[in-house]
Structure 1
Amino acid sequence: MKKTIVMAITGLSVILGGCKSEKPKDTVAQEDNFTYEVDAFADLQILRYKVPEFESLSLQQKEMIYYLSQAAIEGRDILFDQNNKYNLAIRRTLEAIYENYQGEKTSNDYKEFEVYLKRVWFSNGIHHHYGEEKFLPGFSKEFFETQVKALPADKVPVKAGQSIDDFFKMIEPVMFDPGVMAKKVNQADGVDLIKTSANNYYGEGVSQNEVETFYAKMKNPNDTTPIMFGMNSRLVKENGQLVEKVWKVGGLYSPAIERVIGWLEKAKAVAENDAQKKVIDKLVSFYTTGDLKTFDNYAIAWVQDSLSRVDFVNGFTESYGDPLGMKASWESVVNFKNVEATKRTETISSNAQWFEDNSPVNPRFRKEKVKGVTAKVITVAQLGGDCYPSTPIGINLPNSNWIRKDYGSKSVTIENIMEAYDKAAEHSGFSEEFVWSKTELDLLHNYGFITDILHTDLHEILGHGSGQLLPGVDPDALKAYGSTIEEARADLFGLYYLPDAKLVELGITPDAEAYKAEYYRFMMNGLMTQLTRIEPGKNVEEAHMRNRQLIARWTYEKGKAENVVEFKERDGKTFVVVNDYAKLRNLFGQLLAEIQRVKSEGDFNGAKNLVENFGVKVDPKLHNEVLARYKALNLKPYKGFINPVYELVKDKDGKVTDVKISYTEGYTEQMLRYAKEFSILPTYND
């Protein structure tokens, strides 16, 4: 999935992996008695989001949202298992301890236990949702062993024939040993990325070379409509031979998939039109057969449905969890169009051909005819799987390059999520700490929110939808660097066009100076402030973070001779200063041209050099300084959301008369309810 990810770092409402922060702990963002902040622990803050205009929808639309929302939660356990094969065993054990605990709840061990459980819920497993490294319990092994053995025997998720002692011996190193399954996704250069990653997309003993060889043999370089090989399967060894275990009805994850289908069928019965029914039919057919050609047909039908107000993503979509960018994690987003705000994105998408034709990239790599680019602003109604609790604020799908070229794509900006971030980010003190001067502060105050939104719009609508692969280029040619390069390409497209007079002409930007707010924020974040999310001594690992550092570091280095961007010190503190915004735009254009060339030609070595030279390494002195300054602000770098709760209202004959929405459920309450109502998979899915 082409996703715009938000991290919470600054007091600004900024996007594309940029910065947002929490309010001081003794304050809670409220509006009309709506409480945004729900909980806070570790490096996380939990928020609510509003669903404005839900009450104004028709009963048919509200009922459809209800069924799609149920389907959005049914795949939750799929993601846990995809992230690590022991995740379900660990989560279910922790939940059993929480609900059966009889000891002293004021002890440090118990307090740390609660934090660990909440982190497992948030990250959909034992590895950090963004940093990918395993987080360790703050409670002792002895505490955990005592609690496991105090549970009723039927509450311990042992394997068949396994004793509770054997279960503990199996789980203990997975949870407590920092060297066991240390990273969910490893993208370090020079190692076997499959064997050193702890995700569950590949079986025991499968190597990176075997994976690449296995799928390379399937591909036909002359196929102009290739399927996304391996997208919906686990690759394992049986009797020494590689075999795909497909995620479908009757295959892996069948119990959960069958329940997803059940809710989709109910949604189909109240669909808005035949196009929407066709989308659901094809998605159900894909879930039933596991056939990837059927998935492409579903994706085409989904792109072509531009009239339905209610829309959704449901299925195996996101590929960031696989170091090779092939296997797709399960996720869902249920939404409906924000009609008024969509006028902005429709203006951009209707001019997509102009932006493509005037791009600074080589004409060979441009699309001669941009097809089917649809864009809208949406209101999220429910989040699921890899979009929950941490969620994107922009999406562009489908992923298939040939479908995007021949049929177009859908781009969305998720405005109610952005609003929730913005409301929760006020008064943090971050800007005063890290922004260079009043000039930049005024820029961010006056233009920060609108340019954030516009960067997301341009990133999703135009960036991901731009350019083309040359004939015969393998879509997976960039391998582990593909995700970083793709995000950099979309970011750069947005950055390059933000200052363009065309946006002022179209009435999209207020004036010719507004873009400077996003330019300053992006460079400050890419060069410095995103380091708050990295542990001391570590490199940059996550694709979005690598993308931002790559862009910021490359333009900083290339502009050194003319002092386009510089680091300045004041009172012993380091700041980023942009001295020439026009020249910075020119540098963005140069890098965009090179990134597009790398993508279009499938230049693996070019991608590797860009990412490894500019996107990975961290200056330890600057890193330590940023961490210390950030710690003093008492902020949390990541935010996520809990969902509203929907309830069908029926008359005495069982006919649905309304759908109610409520926002009162707490974080722990929601997670425990989901575990009871939406947890059908076996603990071990071998």
Structure 2
Amino acid sequence: MDILSTGSDTRFADIQMLRYHLQGFDRLSLKNKIFIYYLAKATLVGRDITTDQFGAYNIVIRKTLEKLYRDYSGDRSNTEFLAFETYLRQIWFANGIYHHYSCDKFRPAFSKSFFISAFEELSDEELPLAEGQTRRQLLSCLLKVIFDKDYLPKRVNKADGDDLVLTSACNYYEDVTQAEVEAFYRKQSESYVKKHPERANSQPSWGLNSRLIKRNGKLEEEVYARDGRYSKVIEKIIYWLERAVDYAETDQQKTVIRQLIKYYTTGDLSDFDQYSIEWLKATDGEVDFINGFIEVYGDPLGLKGSWEGIVEYKNLEATARARRISENAQWFEDHSPIDSRFRKKKVKGVIANVVCAAMLGGDEYPSSAIGINLPNADWIRAVHGSKSVSIFNLTEAYHEASRNSGMLEEFVVDGSTLDIIKRYGDVCDDLHTDLHECLGHGSGQLLPGTDPNALKHYGNTIEEARADLFGLYYMADAKLVELGLLPDDEAYKSQYYTYLMNGVITQLVRIKPGERIEESHMQNRALIGRWVLSHGKGIVSLSNIDGKHYITITDYAGLRGLFARLLAEIQRVKSEGDFAAARLLVETYGIQVDSELHEEVLARYGKLRIAPYEGFINPKFTPVKDAKGEITDVRVDYTETYTQQMLRYGEEYGIL
């Protein structure tokens, strides 16, 4: 790893790279350290699956560009090479050629001639040529995919009225239309219910772990399994999971890992459901992990799960705080401002932990969630409960990076509001994440017979809005002060203000001029903020002060009432599967951008010279072995640069 990066390794394009630290790792037992090490290997080895899922050409492009980067013999300080270097770093960050948030294809700032010249330096043996492919054919393909802005321009398209499958470049489908996909899985569901009528409300998550293609005029699923698609990678994942079993803390952890191996072997979604149920029971150990095809945000239809992995261990002190929330889950459910028909009569198995991430992989790396609530299947949540985590060391890294950015000073309306945010901001941010993950996603219920996928491509946005609103509503409740989760009844105002400021104003810095809001979490925040402004006369407004726009809140109690109203409607939409209402809410409030406000915000933000997106460099684990080859310790190293890490991952985990 002797290649030195020429440009900034931690700040490039619209990205700032951060490091997270493994607080308390040294206190763990040797057995737990080794357990984490093997689970981390199972997390890192799946990287190529995510990259391939995000676009059919991603891996061949990444491999070619990494080879060009290593072997480039020209001046590494010239503008063309620096632009090439930035482009490669963007691809690493996004697991492919599409932006991780907007899903737009990256536009290279280097020329075709530069690329061709560098390409010609490589021999055939150095190129990722497919069987029977010539170097000319490979070059022609790369030039079209990389430089033609109109060819496969968007990874995930959710534009109303489009065929979302045909217009999305994600690699979950081939030669099929949206109508064909929906009909295929509808038929699968109907066939299952006919055979198992008693399981009509507890069906598998159809399509979660497969690619749907048309071959010889017939629709077929390529299932992700040991003997199916991605078999080479899945074999490696299983290998490391089998190594990890021997170091599990509890018998239940062993059961979880063995069930996951079974699922990877069969590809049967019923095995995945059983794995999810067993995973919920694994509560006693310090170490936990997620590994598999989980989140569906990368599929325009919200069916296909992207591969992701994370290894974590408990922050014992902070977990005690989260447990105070989960232990009162029934109280929160009973007092939710939603129709009683949609409340759970008995909340089951809400498990909440605050953890330190030990390793991130797949769709959780380099850009990661700060909170996770699983499983996603509504019927499993209703019958068996859910498990949520807030990731302490990631949020700590975010807080540290933001403290001196100048963002609050620029966009908060006045000094008194700024004082509240600086006093309570970190604790309120963390608490809202806990409420969102621990309770929000697990709250409420579908009415009997409601199709879990009824909201289609609006489903993810509605679900995130539902969880956020649940958290916002309860942030102002005296119960949180009573439980010792907030210091006083003024603290919640920090979260109310910063949430609306972000949803209406500051998240616009992530949008290019002339574009719409398309990412589900951003749509959710915009929907809530703009709906509140539309319905909150005399309570909240977007004020113009000396040519700059600010959120102004004049009635915080009234604002809580607005959050309650919207939560009640969002829950109704979810519980009843009201597609038309979901569409109206998202299209009206969650997507469009005011061009004048956008231009103003970009100008104000540009003066701060900070990056709108942040991600993480993983620590590096090195096992320390004795003369017999036995592991005696696991060393944690934070010195590896982003570029070094990505090149090493390309060598060690470039399996496909």
> Which category describes the TM-score, using the shorter chain as reference length?
over 0.9
1:109 aligned onto 2:84: no
Please point out which of 30, 41, 47 is paired with 1:70: 41
Within 2, Cα distance between the matches of 1:293 and 1:421? 38
Within 1, Cα distance between the matches of 2:519 and 2:49? 22
Query: Where do residues 258-407 of structure 1 align in structure 2 (5 Å cutoff)?
Result: 258-407=235-384
- Tell me how far 1:65 sits from its aligned partner: 0.3
Within 2, Cα distance between the matches of 1:427 and 1:68? 36
Query: Where do residues 54-453 of structure 1 align in structure 2 (5 Å cutoff)?
Result: 54-203=25-174, 205-220=175-190, 223-453=200-430
Query: Where do residues 550-589 of structure 1 align in structure 2 (5 Å cutoff)?
Result: 550-560=527-537, 563-589=538-564
Residues 337 and 564 of structure 2 are in contact (CA less than 8 Å); yes or no, is this contact kept in structure 1? yes
Q: Secondary structure at the match of 1:217?
A: helix
1:667 aligned onto 2:642: yes
- Tell me how far 1:38 sits from its aligned partner: 6.1
Within 2, Cα distance between the matches of 1:95 and 1:274? 43
Q: Secondary structure at the match of 2:610?
A: coil
Q: In structure 2, what is the equivalent of residue 26 of structure 1? A: none
Q: In structure 2, what is the equivalent of residue 647 of structure 1? A: 622
Q: Secondary structure at the match of 1:218?
A: helix
Within 1, Cα distance between the matches of 2:512 and 2:256? 44
Within 2, Cα distance between the matches of 1:271 and 1:186? 42
1:604 aligned onto 2:575: no
Q: 1:534-586: per-residue Cα shift (whole Å, max 9, x none)?
A: 000111100000000000101110112xx211122222211111111111100
- Tell me how far 1:426 sits from its aligned partner: 2.2
Query: Where do residues 23-62 of structure 1 align in structure 2 (5 Å cutoff)?
Result: 39-62=10-33
Query: Where do residues 588-627 of structure 1 align in structure 2 (5 Å cutoff)?
Result: 588-627=563-602
Q: 1:440-469: per-residue Cα shift (whole Å, max 9, x none)?
A: 100101111111011001000110010001
Q: Secondary structure at the match of 2:373?
A: strand
- Tell me how far 1:351 sits from its aligned partner: 0.2
Within 1, Cα distance between the matches of 2:396 and 2:110? 36
- Which amino acid counterpart does residue 131 of structure 1 have in structure 2? S
Residues 573 and 582 of structure 2 are in contact (CA less than 8 Å); yes or no, is this contact kept in structure 1? yes
Residues 9 and 643 of structure 2 are in contact (CA less than 8 Å); yes or no, is this contact kept in structure 1? no
Residues 375 and 386 of structure 2 are in contact (CA less than 8 Å); yes or no, is this contact kept in structure 1? yes
- Tell me how far 1:475 sits from its aligned partner: 0.7
Q: In structure 2, what is the equivalent of residue 676 of structure 1? A: 651
Q: 1:455-506: per-residue Cα shift (whole Å, max 9, x none)?
A: 0010001100100011111111100000000000000000000010111111
Q: Secondary structure at the match of 1:383?
A: strand
Within 2, Cα distance between the matches of 1:120 and 1:618? 27
Q: 1:173-193: per-residue Cα shift (whole Å, max 9, x none)?
A: 211111111110001100000
With normalisation by structure 1, the TM-score equals 0.93
Q: In structure 2, what is the equivalent of residue 16 of structure 1? A: none
Q: In structure 1, what is the equivalent of residue 4 of structure 2? A: none
Within 2, Cα distance between the matches of 1:290 and 1:318? 17
Q: Secondary structure at the match of 1:468?
A: coil
- Tell me how far 1:408 sits from its aligned partner: 0.4
**CA RMSD of superposed structures (Å):** 0.9
- Which amino acid counterpart does residue 162 of structure 1 have in structure 2? Q
Please point out which of 480, 490, 509 is paired with 2:486: 509
- Which amino acid counterpart does residue 594 of structure 2 have in structure 1? D
Stretch deviating more after TM superposition (213-222 or 323-332): 213-222
Within 2, Cα distance between the matches of 1:53 and 1:388? 22
Within 2, Cα distance between the matches of 1:482 and 1:411? 20
- Tell me how far 1:654 sits from its aligned partner: 1.4
Q: 1:506-536: per-residue Cα shift (whole Å, max 9, x none)?
A: 1111001100000000111111111000000
Q: Secondary structure at the match of 2:173?
A: coil
Q: In structure 2, what is the equivalent of residue 14 of structure 1? A: none
Residues 149 and 164 of structure 1 are in contact (CA less than 8 Å); yes or no, is this contact kept in structure 2? no
Within 1, Cα distance between the matches of 2:223 and 2:81? 40
- Tell me how far 1:643 sits from its aligned partner: 0.7
Within 2, Cα distance between the matches of 1:179 and 1:238? 26
Which 4+ runs in 1 deviate beyond 3 A? none
Residues 346 and 375 of structure 1 are in contact (CA less than 8 Å); yes or no, is this contact kept in structure 2? yes
Within 2, Cα distance between the matches of 1:359 and 1:431? 31
Within 2, Cα distance between the matches of 1:528 and 1:92? 39
Within 2, Cα distance between the matches of 1:418 and 1:559? 31
Residues 213 and 221 of structure 2 are in contact (CA less than 8 Å); yes or no, is this contact kept in structure 1? yes
Please point out which of 440, 451, 459 is paired with 1:474: 451
Residues 215 and 229 of structure 1 are in contact (CA less than 8 Å); yes or no, is this contact kept in structure 2? yes
Within 1, Cα distance between the matches of 2:102 and 2:389? 25
Within 1, Cα distance between the matches of 2:80 and 2:381? 52
Task: Show structure 1 runs of 5+ residues with no match.
Answer: 1-36, 682-686
Residues 292 and 309 of structure 2 are in contact (CA less than 8 Å); yes or no, is this contact kept in structure 1? yes
Within 2, Cα distance between the matches of 1:324 and 1:440? 41
Residues 38 and 48 of structure 1 are in contact (CA less than 8 Å); yes or no, is this contact kept in structure 2? no
1:485 aligned onto 2:462: yes
Q: 1:340-371: per-residue Cα shift (whole Å, max 9, x none)?
A: 11111000000000000000000000100000
- Which amino acid counterpart does residue 589 of structure 1 have in structure 2? A
Q: Secondary structure at the match of 2:294?
A: strand
Residues 38 and 47 of structure 1 are in contact (CA less than 8 Å); yes or no, is this contact kept in structure 2? no
1:658 aligned onto 2:649: no
Within 1, Cα distance between the matches of 2:414 and 2:575? 40
- Which amino acid counterpart does residue 109 of structure 2 have in structure 1? G
- Which amino acid counterpart does residue 420 of structure 2 have in structure 1? L
Residues 398 and 409 of structure 1 are in contact (CA less than 8 Å); yes or no, is this contact kept in structure 2? yes
- Tell me how far 1:224 sits from its aligned partner: 2.1
Task: Show structure 2 runs of 5+ residues with no match.
Answer: 1-7
Q: Secondary structure at the match of 1:219?
A: helix
Please point out which of 604, 625, 631 is paired with 1:629: 604
Number of aligned positions between the proteins: 642
Within 2, Cα distance between the matches of 1:532 and 1:184? 21
- Which amino acid counterpart does residue 185 of structure 1 have in structure 2? V
Residues 356 and 467 of structure 1 are in contact (CA less than 8 Å); yes or no, is this contact kept in structure 2? yes
Q: Secondary structure at the match of 1:312?
A: strand
Residues 533 and 542 of structure 2 are in contact (CA less than 8 Å); yes or no, is this contact kept in structure 1? no
